[in-house]
Structure 1
Amino acid sequence: MSTATASMKECIENCQECQTTCADMLTSHCLSEGGDHVGQDHVKLMLDCIAACAACVDFMSRNSDHHAHYCKACAEICKACADSCEKVGNMDKCVKCCRKCHESCSSMAS
């Protein structure tokens, strides 16, 4: 990864943090809370966010010429996930990491 820029390395770290935080919150928090936390749209968004972050890490870690496409999609998904987590409530950790990931992926997509 010696060819990765500092901003790419930061984005990889943000994606990894978002992926693990969302996975942890989904399994340890949402499933036990029930209600809106396990609503189909919310759970699907969280799973999409986890998968999008993993794909971004994969493409950026090998410095793929196509990483910007994945970063653009990941930024959109992370924003939607943050909005959903904010709406559901009591998910500040997810909201924070998704917003951070949205920002760094947006900068990688341009």
Structure 2
Amino acid sequence: MSAEMQKCMEDCHQCHMICLQMAATHCLEMGGKHTEPAHMRLMLDCAEICQTAMNFMARNSAHHAITCRACAEICRACAASCEQVGDMEDCVEACLRCAESCDQMAAMAA
């Protein structure tokens, strides 16, 4: 496994954990715009696609570039939503870092 793939997997794992934890704790505790259905769904979608992309890379799937491209797109959407909601800097940073890693991984596979 390449160093780039290992880093991407780590970034996906970190994003997965932060999105899941923030949705289940920070957002639910804050209420209001933090718990709007579209925002909550996007955070859970982001956590899920990060886990999926990581799993595809872990088993060296020939299709990992597809999941990495999807992951980058969803991570960017999640970062934008978290930025708009506010007080979610850790999530924004993790999502943008993961999106960048996944873009690089998809480009390398192309």
**Do they superpose with TM above 0.5?**
yes
Counterpart in the other structure of 1:72: 69
- 2:105 — aligned with what? 108
**Cα distance in 2 between the residues matched to 1:93 and 1:22:** 9
Cα distance, 1:59 vs structure 2: 0.2
Query: 2:60 is matched with which residue: 47, 60, 63?
Result: 63
Distance 1:28 1:48 in 2: 16
Aligned to 1:93: 90
- Percent identity over the alignment is 50
Per-residue Cα deviation, 1:68-98 (whole angstroms, up to 9, x for no partner) = 0000000000000000000000000000000
TM-score (norm 1): 0.96
CA distance in 2 between partners of 1:28 and 1:34 (Å): 10
Q: Map 1:46-57 to 2 at 5 A.
A: 46-57=43-54
2:5 alignment partner in structure 1: 8
Shift of the alpha carbon at 1:24? Answer: 0.7
Distance, in Å, in 1 between the alignment partners of 2:106 and 2:27 is 30
| Aligned-residue RMSD, C-alpha | 0.5
Q: Which runs of 4+ in 1 moved over 2 A?
A: none
In structure 2, the partner of 1:45 is: 42
Q: TM-score, normalised by structure 2?
A: 0.96
In structure 2, stretches of 5+ residues that fail to align are none
